[in-house]
Amino acid sequence: MASDSGGELQHPRRNLGNRCRAQAEKFVKLARNDPERMIENLQWGEQNARQAILHDFTDERNWHTLAHIKKMLGDGEGMYRVLNDVFTILGRDSKNLEQLEKVNMLELGIELLSASLSADPLDADNWWENGQTGDLVTYLEDFAERCRHLDFRDQRANIIFGRRLERVLKSGRDDLFIELVQHLLAHRPGNHELWLELGRLHEKRCEWEKAWLCYDHVQQLIPHNAVRDSFRERLTQRMDGEWKSPGLDTRSEFLLRMQELAESVSSDDSDSADVAETGVDEGEGEDGIEKIDSDELELQKFLSGQDYAAAFFLARRLVATGEAWASQYLEQARGGLEISDD
């Protein structure tokens, strides 16, 4: 009993999720026993099921409870939204999303949900166990291929796949972790905990410049966290002399690489108007009107399309090269990323 209580204290949100799900199930039972108040009880059950998911979206029981209530309510459109939300968390595989439009939700929605979560569990330990039951090498190759093309801008998707990558790292596959974690960080550059983990891994491998770039990014995100400065001190002591941080070219290449990874997803689904086609050009036109710099046009395009990650890395690269005018765009990108985290 003591260990159970300790687990609840360590996972307060999970505990709240369990309580809300229990309440939802209670209202479902009342709905079955009282036909006259069935709709009212199911609506109360739906509210509690939604709260359970808000508290713990990684507990598949919460999703199943909500889906069953949607079916009892005859809410096919609501069932579609539940499945759409799950697929979003699983990385927004466009093929899966397209399939939803062709499915009779009331007949097959729960079956589709169960099959999806069985093949792609939200719990990282269950996901790893799935790979252990067969050919783990092929399992991880398929996982890696997915990571290279999926959309991780949703915070929950970033968390789910980040936890899976932790299992990959624990298995000793450092190189695979380093490659794939960059996709998650490119889509959500504010994930400072994942940046720290990547920095520590590079430091452990004596890849000093790469470690510094990760730690520098964290300190840029959280100025009071002097992780970059502490790393420099450790390295200086280790080398018995001053260590020179990466030069401008190295930093620019790093930020450009992250920008390109961020763009790899956004370019596929962005339907915003291209600012470059508004008639404003570079340099100075025949009418004497000053034209806007191409980098500024690119920043405006990213921000108008809510592609805050790509805007963030481009603005950081410009600021690093002395383009002070890009600072305002960097702050706009930061603000957009923070809003998307809420």
Q: What is the mean pLDDT of each run of 10 residues along the chain (342 residues)?
A: 38 82 97 96 97 95 97 95 91 72 89 93 95 93 91 89 95 96 93 93 96 94 91 87 87 94 69 41 45 84 92 94 94 86 59
* Last residue in a domain, options 168, 183, 198: 183
Closest by CA position to 79, among listed 37, 46, 32: 46
Beta bridge partners of 284: 290
Are 160 and 195 in the same domain? Answer: no
Half-sphere exposure of 30 (CA within 13 A, CB side): 15
Are 33 and 130 in the same domain? Answer: no
Identify whether 167 is part of a domain: yes
* Last residue in a domain, options 69, 93, 119: 119
Are 23 and 97 in the same domain? Answer: yes
Are 93 and 71 in the same domain? Answer: yes
- Residue 216 makes CB contacts below 8 A (sequence gap 6+) with 228, 245, 251
Q: Is the dihedral of CA 234, 239, 243, 249 positive or negative?
A: negative
Note down the domain range covering 107. Answer: 12-119
Q: Which residue has the tokens 């004596």?
A: 206
Identify whether 5 is part of a domain: no
Are 149 and 210 in the same domain? Answer: no
Identify whether 109 is part of a domain: yes
Identify whether 3 is part of a domain: no
Task: Read off φ and ψ for residue 270, nearest 5 degrees.
Answer: -80, 125
* Last residue in a domain, options 98, 119, 140: 119
The answer to whether the CB of 184 falls within 8 A of the CB of 165 is yes
Are 111 and 28 in the same domain? Answer: yes
Identify whether 284 is part of a domain: no
The answer to whether the CB of 17 falls within 8 A of the CB of 52 is yes
Alpha helices in 34-75, H assignment, sequence order: 38-55, 60-73
pLDDT of residue 293: 80
pLDDT of residue 155: 87
Are 92 and 162 in the same domain? Answer: no
Closest by CA position to 217, among listed 209, 231, 228: 228
* Gap between the Cα atoms of 130 and 119, Å rounded: 8
Identify whether 1 is part of a domain: no
Are 273 and 311 in the same domain? Answer: yes
Identify whether 7 is part of a domain: no
Are 167 and 203 in the same domain? Answer: no
HEC string of the chain?
CHHHHHHHHHCHHHHHHHHHHHHHHHHHHHHHHCHHHHHHHHHHHHHHHHHHHHHCCCCHHHHHHHHHHHHHHCCHHHHHHHHHHHHHHCCCCHHHHHHHCCCCHHHHHHHHHHHHHHHCCCCHHHHHHHHHCCCHHHHHHHHHHHHCCCCCCCHHHHHHHHHHHHHHHHCCCHHHHHHHHHHHHHHCCCCHHHHHHHHHHHHHCCCHHHHHHHHHHHHHHCCCCCHHHHHHHHHHHHHCCCCCCCCHHHHHHHHHHHHHHHHHHHHHHCCCCCHHHCCCCCCECCCCCECCCHHHHHHHHHHHCCCHHHHHHHHHHHHHCCCHHHHHHHHHHHHHHHHHHC
Are 78 and 168 in the same domain? Answer: no
Reported pTM:
0.81
From the centroid of its chain, how far is CA 228? 24
Identify whether 283 is part of a domain: no
Number of structural domains the chain divides into:
4
Question: Which residue type does 216 have?
Answer: D
Are 134 and 179 in the same domain? Answer: yes
pLDDT of residue 285: 46
Are 108 and 171 in the same domain? Answer: no
